[in-house]
A and B are shown apart, each in its own frame.
Chain A
């Protein structure tokens, strides 16, 4: 798994639960190092070990852990860059949803070796969308639920999200009910980083 993803898991634990929780997980998973490096690659098994140990350490199901991780990636100031890159997807939540179809390609522009999950967004019926994702990391769909929930807040949209579990092909499916596109104010977004996101 790309170091960027491992690093994100580490930062999530550090920023949310404190550095000692991360240290304990790193110890239990027998990493042999203190920190993931975002620009190095690690065997997939290491990521799975860390996720398992982390969930156990925090007494939560892995699914919940991943969903919280997704929320963190979009809403925590330490990883503001990710939120900004996702906001480039479109001017409202509907455009953002459709931009997920391009996310794999966009990610590859920046990091050609980042093994991003393939995402497919379809419109099912009025206000209902379906997101399917297939990934080397099982449970990635739960992280996407967290990401989409936080992005809905970011855009000020009101949504209802439901993880529908795995399909036989290994794909994960999430249904998205977009109840209202302009439910709340949302956070401002400027194309230029210099002007800043919150004006």
Chain B
């Protein structure tokens, strides 16, 4: 075999992150970029395994301390550990070995920690493109985040201005306030019915919110079917509804409507393997009770009547009675209809 002089400097342009070690595993040469990570004089003359901890996937060849021809994972033993990827190969004629290194995903940190510049990477290295991509993507992501935040804000604002309850499709409290004010202005007689669901909380607690939502949607369906187009149904709280019946003020008629609603509410709602059972309590008032009907007053009086229904065992309706409710809430029996 002819003698072969190996000049590692020729490798520098290709592999500025490489080092050369002899067959005993001792470092004899360090590439210029690698030398930016640790001073070359601190590495030359020391075994590779003393400078780095080395891990491989167990498929390396050769008897040397450093497996050849396989993917290596390295960390510095001292200082910032900086995970590196590498591969070692032997040049038998020169009796030396080359270990080429790369940052892999530690590139972003490494560039900051060691103040590397474009000139520290081989022209064929994708490191600069990688860094470029990281920054470009971060900038784009930031724009996207801001857009999302603005859209979220717009959504909240739109919801605040909306008149519809998104879960049930019924009108919401805000819409109800508008309709009520309009009807009071036009002086048409009407009845205001306040419905509060019974046993709804236990459905929510035992079967979960999805079951509760299914029940609320069923309730909304029933209420829509039991009202005419010029009546109004609004969901004004978690399980509270207000119904306005246009031009209906006769108590018998209202009791009849309320009883029908309660009967239908008590029909079990199938949910997955089981059934949800609820009922409803209702308080009713009409414009006929007042010389000058007023929204807050009517809602308050319907509430008092509702309270009587609850007090008397739920699942029933009560029409407001000025004699009973003004001052003596719940102490005297009100006019009621049972189930």
Do A and B come from the same complex? yes
Contact pattern, A 85-103, Cβ under 8 Å of B = 1, otherwise 0: 1001011000000000000
A-facing residues in B141-174 (Cβ within 8 Å): 143-144, 147, 150
* A side interface size, CB within 8 A: 21
In the bound complex, residues from chain B placing their C-beta under 8 Å from that of A88 are 118, 128, 131-132, 135
B-facing residues in A51-110 (Cβ within 8 Å): 81, 84-85, 88, 90-91, 106, 109-110
Which of B24-32, B109-117, B229-237, B248-256 faces chain A?
B109-117
A192 touches B115 (CB 8 A): yes
Closest residue of chain B to A38 (Cβ to Cβ) is B143
How far apart are B139's CB and chain A's nearest CB, in angstroms? 4
Question: Is B119 interfacial (CB-CB < 8 Å)?
Answer: yes
In the bound complex, residues from chain A placing their C-beta under 8 Å from that of B111 are 191-192
In the bound complex, residues from chain A placing their C-beta under 8 Å from that of B140 are 39, 110-111
In the bound complex, residues from chain A placing their C-beta under 8 Å from that of B129 are 106, 109
Query: CA of A67 to CA of B172 in the docked complex: distance in angstroms?
Result: 54
Query: CA of A110 to CA of B285 in the docked complex: distance in angstroms?
Result: 64
A90 touches B147 (CB 8 A): no
A85-B144 contact, Cβ under 8 Å, with A91-B117, A191-B117, A195-B115:
no
How far apart are A112's CB and chain B's nearest CB, in angstroms? 10
Query: CA of A8 to CA of B183 in the docked complex: distance in angstroms?
Result: 52
In the bound complex, residues from chain B placing their C-beta under 8 Å from that of A191 are 111, 116-118, 128, 131
How far apart are A132's CB and chain B's nearest CB, in angstroms? 24
A37 touches B147 (CB 8 A): yes
* B side interface size, CB within 8 A: 22
Query: CA of A133 to CA of B150 in the docked complex: distance in angstroms?
Result: 35
In the bound complex, residues from chain A placing their C-beta under 8 Å from that of B118 are 88, 90-91, 191
In the bound complex, residues from chain A placing their C-beta under 8 Å from that of B119 are 91
A110-B136 contact, Cβ under 8 Å, with A38-B143, A39-B143, A192-B108:
yes
Question: Is B94 interfacial (CB-CB < 8 Å)?
Answer: no
A-facing residues in B82-127 (Cβ within 8 Å): 108, 111-112, 115-119
Query: CA of A109 to CA of B137 in the docked complex: distance in angstroms?
Result: 9
In the bound complex, residues from chain B placing their C-beta under 8 Å from that of A91 are 117-119
Contact pattern, B 290-328, Cβ under 8 Å of A = 1, otherwise 0: 000000000000000000000000000000000000000
Question: Is A198 interfacial (CB-CB < 8 Å)?
Answer: no
A38-B117 contact, Cβ under 8 Å, with A110-B140, A195-B112:
no
Q: Which of B136, B147, B150 has the most CB of A within 10 A?
A: B136
In the bound complex, residues from chain B placing their C-beta under 8 Å from that of A190 are 115, 117
How far apart are B314's CB and chain A's nearest CB, in angstroms? 52
Question: Is B11 interfacial (CB-CB < 8 Å)?
Answer: no
Question: Is B133 interfacial (CB-CB < 8 Å)?
Answer: yes
B112 touches A84 (CB 8 A): no
Question: Is A194 interfacial (CB-CB < 8 Å)?
Answer: yes
Question: Is A193 interfacial (CB-CB < 8 Å)?
Answer: yes
A39-B147 contact, Cβ under 8 Å, with A190-B115, A191-B117, A191-B118:
yes
What would be 9 A-B contacts, judged by CB atoms less than 8 Å apart?
Answer: A38-B143, A85-B132, A88-B118, A106-B136, A109-B129, A190-B117, A192-B108, A192-B116, A193-B135
